[in-house]
Structure 1
Amino acid sequence: MTVGVGKKFSNVKLKVENNIAFIFVDNPPANALNSHTINGLKECIHFINQEDSRIKVVIISGEGKFFIAGADIKEFVPAIGNSQTGEEMAKRAQALFSEIEKMEIPIIAAINGACLGGGLELAMACHMRIAADDALLGQPEVNLGLIPGFGGTQRLPRLTNKAKAIELILTGDFIKGPEAERIGLVNRSCPSEFLMDEAIKLANKIANERSAKSVAAALYAVTKGTKVELEEGLDLEAGLFGKLFNTDDMKEGVTAFVEKRKPNFIDK
């Protein structure tokens, strides 16, 4: 299946090539994460989840010079003085990002520019992140008299260390790609001209050289297992490990290893 860039949702474009789905947030000038963009992302994610197994990895990035520069602050103005509206706004974005985090298809954030506020919270919900060296990452909500509300106070200390997360949240300071890599916020950073090449290289290895069955099981073991006690996580891991023994791909992988050849996985 190939979907051209013309496949559009609200402020979101999608294409699928070589088992990889590319999502581009397209809300110029700064790809603000407004309600229309959140709706578009939700529709796009649902579309991908309903597609067949040919979509094995997702790359999400921003159109133009920005990843997502943050929420659309103009949408906050009508909610001033209304805590219920603010809470509903946060829970709506949190629900989408949790849905992304729970996907059985790996999602890579290719951070091509400013990735701030809700943009960083979206990137942190993805399973892997690659950032351009000159990309700016941060949670500047404190400058608005707010806190990160779309998951930032919870995911940032889980990805980096608690003290560094608190520093970034309380100061609202920005960091660039290399520093984000140093503190574990992104998997790696690279020059901006190589960003998509790096993301595609990683996506290709997972999508076209690995078994979708084992990838999905491993992803579930990590995302679910790290949210429970160790013993429960180990039980989950053992159960998934055992189930894979009944797959054609496990048989092919072991046979290929013994025969000293590359495996030909069929995702069954």
Structure 2
Amino acid sequence: MTHPILETRMEDAVAVVTLNRSERRNALDEHAIAEIEHFFAHPPAGARAIVLAARGPHFCAGLDLREHHAKQRSPAEFMRVCQGWHRAFDRIQHGGIPVVAALQGAVVGGGLELAGAAHIRVGDRTTYFALPEGQWGIFTGGGATVRVARLITPNRMIELMLTGRVMRAEEGMQIGLLNYLTEPSDALAQAMSLAHKIAANAPLSNYSIVAGINKIWDMSASDGLFTESLLAALVQTSPEVQVRLSEFVEKRAAKVAA
């Protein structure tokens, strides 16, 4: 299935969704955000992991500033635009299917907000990050104050926005924007390898990991512990777990080793 902005395909149990607007450095307009929300609200049947990728030398340059300038939205209109971004990226982060992002080139502004909604980020050495909203006279509206600040700390986010400096892939790896760093052009292959491994996990376990941990982070300690025990009770008493535990008890399962 092919969309004007998103291309999608299945590879076994892994769905691959690709931004296909390389002539605009995969900048995100309202139509792109609507397509992203629709895809992650209705993922392909049988998808047990998703890889988020992009065509061209850049992952995503963020908000389509041409559209933003041309539409001259009112404050209320732009607030609704921001809420659309929040809904779309919430679908990624809390949808229950693990999402691995393959990054290259610019991961800037709203592109960083999009990448920040993924559960695992793989970047090659061409990847760079920036939040240049201060220099453009705007403010983040796609969830960076929640997702990106949580990844790198609010203080680092403030510094990036005030200075507009570019952060290279190596620094992004050091501070938590990247989980894996590859050589140029290797990020997608690494992301696919991880996604296939993740897809082999028990689906209910994957769901609880990606949908539960971030929710628990927002709770009080006592509420979080109760929710953890509830998830554990559901996951660890499922029929699939019994099969996998039998393999471990009977020494047919691979052991954890360095």
Task: Pick the TM interval, shorter chain.
Answer: over 0.9
Counterparts of 2:233 and 2:73, CA distance in 1: 54
User: One-letter code of the match for 1:172?
Assistant: G
CA gap 1:32/1:257 in 2 versus in 1, 3 angstroms: same
Counterparts of 2:237 and 2:70, CA distance in 1: 55
The corresponding residue for 2:39 is 44
Deviation at 1:81, TM superposition (A): 7.0
The corresponding residue for 1:190 is 182
Whether the 8 Å contact between 1:9 and 1:44 is mirrored in structure 2 is no
- Superposed, which structure 2 residues align to 1:197-236 within 5 Å? 197-208=189-200, 210-236=201-227
TM-score for both structures, normalised by structure 1:
0.89
Counterparts of 2:179 and 2:116, CA distance in 1: 11
Deviation at 1:114, TM superposition (A): 0.9
The corresponding residue for 1:97 is 89
Counterparts of 1:81 and 1:218, CA distance in 2: 38
Report whether the alignment pairs 1:131 with 2:131: no
CA RMSD after TM alignment: 1.6
Whether the 8 Å contact between 2:21 and 2:27 is mirrored in structure 1 is yes
User: One-letter code of the match for 1:17?
Assistant: E
User: One-letter code of the match for 1:25?
Assistant: L
- Superposed, which structure 2 residues align to 1:233-244 within 5 Å? 233-244=224-235
Whether the 8 Å contact between 1:59 and 1:110 is mirrored in structure 2 is yes
Deviation at 1:220, TM superposition (A): 2.3
The corresponding residue for 1:266 is none
User: One-letter code of the match for 1:124?
Assistant: G
Deviation at 1:152, TM superposition (A): 1.2
- Superposed, which structure 2 residues align to 1:10-159 within 5 Å? 10-29=4-23, 30-48=25-43, 51-52=44-45, 54-80=46-72, 82-159=74-151
Counterparts of 2:116 and 2:155, CA distance in 1: 17
- Bigger RCO (CA 8 Å, 6+ sep): 2
Counterparts of 1:225 and 1:199, CA distance in 2: 26
- Report the number of matched residues: 253
Counterparts of 1:109 and 1:97, CA distance in 2: 13
SS of 1:147's equivalent in the other structure is coil
Whether the 8 Å contact between 2:125 and 2:182 is mirrored in structure 1 is yes
Question: Tell me, which stretches of 5 or more residues in structure 1 are unaligned?
Answer: 1-6, 264-268
Deviations 1:36-59 (A, max 9, x none): 2112212222330xx43x210001
Whether the 8 Å contact between 2:130 and 2:166 is mirrored in structure 1 is yes
Whether the 8 Å contact between 1:148 and 1:169 is mirrored in structure 2 is no
Deviations 1:210-239 (A, max 9, x none): 111211122222021111112111111101
The corresponding residue for 1:4 is none
Report whether the alignment pairs 1:9 with 2:3: yes
Counterparts of 2:64 and 2:97, CA distance in 1: 28
SS of 1:9's equivalent in the other structure is coil
Question: Tell me, which stretches of 5 or more residues in structure 2 are unaligned?
Answer: none
Counterparts of 1:230 and 1:186, CA distance in 2: 28
% identical equivalent positions: 27
